[in-house]
Amino acid sequence: MTLLSNHLKGRIITDARQIGVFLDQKMVQEFLIYLKELKEWNQKINLTSLKTDEAIITTHFIDSLTLIPHLPSSASILDLGSGAGFPGIPVKIAAPAHNITLLEATRKKANFLRHIIRRLGLSKTTVLECRAEHFKPPDPSHPVFDSVIARALAPLKTFLQLGAPLVKKGGHLVAMKGEKIEEELKESRVVFKALSLEMDKKVALQLPQNNKKRHLVFIKKV
């Protein structure tokens, strides 16, 4: 193992531990493979604007992992607008018991997701190539997902409108947001009653190696 990979391995382990996520050696190796494949594919298709390994680890991997302490140990999860796999793939790597569905409209990105699932040998992980507003569960009266999660997809109000029909009663819509969350919550309140939603909790956090404030917003379907 090279000095660089040792450095990156240590960075992933340490930063994950700081947010309460403990990774074993297999998981860390999968993150290193994910990083390598992401950078290679990024030369051909636009998956991320970040250029350095450290920036990708903090901004994409560790940010995605902030969900882990707040999710059940095993759940059916829909990642709405998955892009390059964030947060769904990091969640799956760190918590393999989850059943993950990645919804992505762009074919090239969906192809990357299929590739990384094969490359990492991830089970119970599915890619659906479809726009979020066009996706319907097989039986709309019986949604199948315990949680619907999204990161950098759309304004909160839009996410709730797209995700609410897809989550089970008693399940959660989980939005990963930045500093302007109060403004987005205020704009979204009008749809709570219509969509049978209620605010559950809001978690403020700060990523290791990063001064930007982040929020996880958990909204329950009642």
Give me the CATH number covering residue 87: 3.40.50.150
Q: In whole angstroms, give the CA distance from residue 94 to residue 205.
A: 19
How many other CB atoms sit within 10 Å of the CB of residue 138? 7
The pLDDT value recorded for residue 160 is 96
Q: Which domain holds residue 82?
A: 3-221
Whether the bond between 140 and the residue before it is cis, its omega within 30 degrees of 0, is no
Q: Where are the alpha helices (DSSP H) in 71-195?
A: 88-94, 107-120, 156-163, 181-192
The pLDDT value recorded for residue 124 is 96
Q: Which helix (H) or strand (E) element contains residue 10?
A: helix 3-18
Q: In whole angstroms, give the CA distance from residue 41 to residue 143.
A: 34
Q: In whole angstroms, give the CA distance from residue 110 to residue 102.
A: 9
Query: Are β-strands 145-151 and 197-206 bridged in parallel, bridged antiparallel, or unpaired?
Result: unpaired
The pLDDT value recorded for residue 136 is 82
The pLDDT value recorded for residue 73 is 86
Phi, psi angles (nearest 5°) of residue 52:
-95, 150
Q: Per-block average pLDDT, block size 10, for the chain (222 residues)?
A: 82 96 97 97 95 95 97 94 97 97 97 98 96 82 89 92 94 94 91 94 92 92 96
Domains in the chain: how many in total? 1
The pLDDT value recorded for residue 48 is 96
The pLDDT value recorded for residue 113 is 98
The pLDDT value recorded for residue 180 is 86
The pLDDT value recorded for residue 174 is 98
Is 180 in a helix, a strand, or coil?
coil
